[in-house]
Chain A
Amino acid sequence: MTTTTAVFDPGAEATRATDAILRDTLHGTHRGVVVDSPPGAGKSTLVVRAALELADAGRPLMVIAQTNAQVDDLVLRLAEKRPGLPVGRLHSSDPDPYDKALDDLPNVRKSAKAGDLAGLDVVISTAAKWAHVKGVEPWGHAIVDEAYQMRSDALLAVAGLFERALFVGDPGQLDPFAIVGSEQWAGLSYDPSASAVTTLLAHNPQLPQHRLPVSWRLPASAAPLVSAAFYPYTPFRSGTDHDDRRLDFAIPSDGSGPDRVIDEAAESGWGLLELPARHTPRTDPEAVGALAQVVRRLLDRGGAATSERSPDPTPLTADRIAVGTAHRDQAAAVRSALSELGADDVTVDTANRLQGREYDVTVVLHPLSGRPDATAFHLETGRLCVLASRHRHACIVISRAGVPALLDDHPSTEPVQLGVPLKFPDGWEANHAVLSHLAEHRVPWQP
């Protein structure tokens, strides 16, 4: 960096972006506003703030999120920020439809019927539940959270419920998918399997689009890589600098592979533990075993994370660590391996389920490790992006050697569909970008 460039002030940049978004949302003339948010850029904070400002302006607001966990999280955040705000939680009629913590909030009314919640300042539910709401007066305003993970047909089902909306989401994460073929509609502006934002913008190209420029989650070691690999045309920065975060371990390395990769990751933010090349079943027992040992050592070595959040280091406990895999059976195999090592409390999930979550350290089983081929599923840009952008301090990847060669053997071969905008970067390129960065932090496996 040269001294002549203006100093980048992440706080000021983020505030400027947020102000512009709120101005368009509250006073703009367009029916919709789209906000692209890279990982950890304060999307939830923005949603909460927009909700409060709309409520203050006396505009009835509905909030559409994609999962029940996201809805409950938003309700809790709103109540924390403004305990007196009357909030409605619309839920399904299944048993245990919402987080029990909501029962302690006096101003949150919960119901399975939208009619019971009429008149409240903010009503929050999932897209699936909103789709069943019929015959009510439309809301003046809506906030659609995780709009890039919402399918176009889900938006079609709820769009009649609001006049105007703020769409917030991360374009780099996993696209929504359909469990049956939908090629027949590829290229149509309203392809029901496309993302809600794709359809919205295809029909309303004049809508204002904003971007949050700063990731508060990703450390300075990760933001440049994630930005360059997954958001090449919409770069972002980290909100913190290299000196702001540190990961220390009380117990020194014993020289084994897991300990060395932990030290490498603590030092540089990235670590690649590489097992010898081999074709394996999806639940590669050696890789799963190595992964479990890394997690065990992370817990045993008395880790402490120092960050801008507090002056004192916080201990690296099981709830601050997550393991990410591509497939559910891999997650199950990792869970049982961890349970044998007595580390049951660590979150283990697939990329789909880790979306939107945040941890200090993540340990990732590389989606292409041990595979004989690279399918579109494994190459999907969003999958790798989710796995590589959940951490505040360090990310450790476990993989078989030979993935770059595998990639070279399997260039993307998806048929080109007329009328479908090409997505950049493609997964093949993004995978190579991440791998070549990880190669600098490679530690060969030795038990």
Chain B
Amino acid sequence: MSLITTLARLEAVDTGRAQPLATVRHRHLSERPLVFVPLTTAGEAGAPLGALVGTDRDAPRLLVVPQPRDRDLRFAFLAELAGVVLPYIDACGEDVEAAERTETDPETGKRVKVEVELCADAPQLIVPSRAGIEFVRLLGRSMRFRRTAEQDPETPHPAPPHVPLLGRWLTHYGERARVPGSALLLALTDVVSRHWATGQSSLEDQHLGALLAWIDPPENESGAEAALRAELRRDAKGQLLCPPAGPATDPAFDNKLLAPAIERYDRARTALAAAEDGLQADDRLGELTAAEREIRELVDSRTRPTWDAVWHGLDLLRTLPEGTHAADRWTRDRWSFTGHRDRVLAGEPPQPRRDDAVTAANKLATREREQARLEAQEALDDPLVMAGRRLAGEAFAGEVTDIVMAYSESKRPSPRPLVTIRTDDRPHLAERAKVYRSLGGKPQAAEFVEYVEGEADGADIDTGGRSIVLRIVDKMGRGKEPESGSVPEKGDLVCFTLFEHEQRGGAKLPDPEDTPWTHGGPPGEATHPPADPVTEEDVL
């Protein structure tokens, strides 16, 4: 945790309200995001209990699995989910614009520009918390290798149509969520706690209700009190007033309400199956429907508060204007979405169970690059974030007090003006350290020359102020004199960073089929180890 975040948290404790960590919104929010509030069954990994899903905050679609251990019901749930999610994805996939991409020509090996489609917008999926993202990944993994009867008529337990496709999309979204700064799949608690500091630990911030209570408490109540209430207060029946955002449910709910309701449902179902005539069956069907409705109401009662909280959180986030670079990052998300759309359309197989060596290394390199890019862009977009970097000695801001024109020692001397900046910041500048400032959106580099201390520069030593001399080294044009506007003038306020603004692309890795001997050689044909034998516990 950076010093400025620690200070903001202390201030939040002191004032009883969350404190801003950002002045702009650092993630793109879609006009029409798809909110997904899933619940899972305790003790059954990957067995959904139900979900609220939809793009309309007033009309979410409630999906429920009345008996989560029944695989047919689970498939029905997933098919229904696919029925909501896939049309939303397809709608974005159809609206495209022309774009250019550099590709390697397979014949000449040269880099050439090719015109390709880029989806004008990408579907955005919002889940309440980080555990929700894990659940999306889990659902994706459990679905993408399923076969439908159409794909393989021999398969013993065919999945409903579209379920494998939904699995591929959820896998793509879950994987994309690991890229720093991406916004295709967002956990609301992560985004909100990026923008506000509460007076509780970051673990406690994972509780959506408590987090929002710190930021927007009811009138006459402090955020701390409201958060505590959200976390602990129970009604007369011992149920949490603010249920956890899931996917895990509160054990008191599981034991006291859900388990008896599922038991009633199971009994009604057994009774229906044992019905001896039509009349009896009609009666018992009524009981079954009533038992199912009861479970639906229970799931609705636990997901609805979270659903409302997610939209409340989105409202709070929308009060901040979007950061300049957030749009750039969203364009990368659109490329990612378009790329996967193309792979699906081209009939490529689902994502493999594990990455091969080259894919894993490429992903890690991309994510490291995106992380560095994100940190730089957030600071450039937001003076409050930059203040944190300045406090950490990674940037400094101040007024230009002197300019001395100088030139490089070469046959064609280029301008290398010396700029003196008075600052109260204490950057950790090493000898000849490179520093950068943003000049019309592009980084201009300078080199640290020396500190000037003492009375001559007028800096107040007592406040830690001093002057820094820099030599500007680029972005001044080709001529002997720097282009106008490319060198700061006396009295200008400037901000230089010790970190680079743009990231260089890494070296190209070998193709997977050229994986070297140190990494086990080429991956070879994908082999599917046989599934574990079915045991008694697998069969209900």
**B-side contacts of A188, CB under 8 Å:** 354-355, 360
B516 close to A159 (CB less than 8 A):
yes
Task: State A204–B392 Cα separation when bound (angstroms).
Answer: 44
Given A134-B508, A157-B509, A160-B510, A31:B517 Cβ within 8 A: yes
CA distance A203 to B372 in the complex (A): 31
Decide yes or no whether B507 CB sits under 8 A from chain A: yes
**Chain A residues, CB < 8 A from B360:** 153, 185, 188, 190-192
Q: Which residue, of A156, A182, A328, has the highest number of chain B Cβ atoms within 10 A?
A: A156
Contact A132 B510 (CB under 8 A): no
B518 near A203 (CB under 8 angstroms)?
A: yes
Q: Which residue of B lies closest to A190 (CB)?
A: B357
B519 at the interface (CB under 8 A from A): yes
Check A192 against B361 for contact (C-beta < 8 Å): yes
Contact A192 B510 (CB under 8 A): no
* Stretch among B13-21, B363-371, B475-483 lining the A interface: B363-371
| Residue A181 is within 8 A (CB to CB) of chain B in the complex | yes
Q: Can you name the residue of chain B whose Cβ is closest to the Cβ of A155?
A: B518
Identify which of B368, B514, B518 contacts A204 (C-beta below 8 A): B518
Query: How many residues from A make CB contacts under 8 Å with B?
Result: 34
A32 within 8 A of B: yes
Residue on B nearest A164 in the bound complex, by CB: B517
Interface pair B507/A132, CB less than 8 Å apart: yes
- CA of A157 to CA of B367, assembled, Å: 17
Indicate whether A156 sits within 8 Å of B518 (C-beta atoms), given known contacts A179-B368, A193-B364: yes
Residue of A whose beta carbon sits closest to that of B508 = A134
Q: Which residues of B contact A152 (CB under 8 A)?
A: 361, 519
B278 on interface, CB distance cutoff 8 Å: no
> A159, A196, A328 — which one has the most chain B CB atoms within 10 A of its CB?
A159
Let me know if A405 is at the binding interface, CB within 8 A. no
Whether B367 lies near A180 (C-beta < 8 A) is yes
Q: Are A178 and B358 in contact (CB under 8 A)?
A: no
Interface string of B14-48 (1 = CB under 8 A from A): 00000000000000000000000000000000000
- A319 is an interface residue with CB less than 8 A from chain B: no
Docked-complex contact A156 and B510, CB < 8 angstroms? yes
Name A185's closest neighbour in chain B (CB-CB).
B360
Contact with A along B513-528 (1 / 0, CB 8 A): 0111111110000000
In the assembled complex, A308 has its CB within 8 A of some CB on chain B:
no
A244 close to B (CB within 8 Å): no
Does A128 have its Cβ within 8 Å of any Cβ on chain B?
yes
A203 touches B519 (CB 8 A): yes
Cα A444 to Cα B415 with chains together (Å): 56
- In the bound complex, CA of A134 to CA of B396 (Å): 40
B437 CB, nearest partner CB in chain A, Å: 18
**What are the residues of chain A within 8 A of B368 when measuring CB–CB?**
178-180
Q: How far is the CA of A381 from the CA of B29 in the complex (A)?
A: 43
Contacting residue for A157 out of B180, B356, B372, B507, CB 8 A? B507
**Cα distance, A196 to B357, chains bound together (Å):** 13
* Alpha-carbon gap, A199 to B518, bound state (A): 7
Q: Which residues of A contact B352 (CB under 8 A)?
A: none
Query: Cβ of A193: which chain B residues have Cβ within 8 Å of it?
Result: 364
Do A128 and B507 touch across chains, with their CB atoms under 8 A apart? yes
Q: How far is the CA of A117 from the CA of B393 in the complex (A)?
A: 41
Chain A residues within an 8 Å CB radius of B519: 152, 155-156, 159, 190, 199, 203
Q: How many B residues are at the interface, by size bracket?
A: 20 to 34
The answer to whether A178 touches B510, judged by C-beta atoms less than 8 angstroms apart, is no
A329 touches B (CB below 8 Å): yes
Bound-state CA distance A328–B519 (Å) is: 34
Contacts of B521 in A (CB 8 A): 203
Q: Which residues of B contact A182 (CB under 8 A)?
A: 364
Quick one: which of A7-40 are within 8 Å of B by CB? 31-32
A189 interfacial by beta-carbon distance below 8 Å: yes
Q: Could you tell me which residues of chain A, from 124 to 176, have a CB within 8 Å of some CB in chain B?
A: 128, 131-132, 134, 152-153, 155-157, 159-160
Q: Is the CB of B365 within 8 A of A153?
A: yes
| A200 (CB) vs chain B CBs: closest residue | B518
Q: How far is the CB of B525 from chain A (nearest CB, A)?
A: 18
Q: Which of A180, A185, A203 lies at the interface centre, i.e. has the most chain B CB atoms within 10 A of its CB?
A: A180
Contact A204 B517 (CB under 8 A): yes
B507–A180 touching, CB < 8 Å: no
Are A131's CB and B506's CB within 8 A?
yes
Chain B residues near A132 (CB, 8 Å)?
A: 507
Q: Which of B355, B364, B393, B506 contacts A178 (CB 8 A)?
A: B364
Take A184-B178, A192-B357 as given contacts and tell me if A203 and B364 are in contact as well, using a CB distance cutoff of 8 Å. no
The docked-state distance in angstroms from the alpha carbon of A173 to that of B54 is 52
Of the candidates A180, A184, A191, which one forms a contact with B371 in the assembled complex, judged by CB atoms under 8 Å apart? A180
When distances are taken between beta carbons in the complex, the residues of chain A under 8 Å from B372 are 179
Report chain A residues within 8 Å CB of B364.
153, 178, 180, 182, 185, 192-193
Q: Which of A31, A157, A181, A191 has the most CB of B within 10 A?
A: A157
| CA A160 to CA B513, docked complex, whole Å | 12
Contact for B355 among A32, A156, A185, A332, CB less than 8 A = A185
B-contacting residues, A291-348, CB 8 Å:
328-329, 332
| Complex Cα gap A197–B370 (Å) | 27
Residues from chain B with Cβ under 8 Å of A191 in the complex = 360
Chain A to chain B contacts (Cβ below 8 Å), 7 pairs: A156-B357, A157-B509, A179-B368, A180-B371, A181-B178, A192-B364, A332-B393
10 interchain residue pairs of minimum CB distance: A131-B507, A159-B516, A153-B361, A190-B357, A192-B361, A203-B520, A332-B428, A180-B367, A159-B518, A192-B364
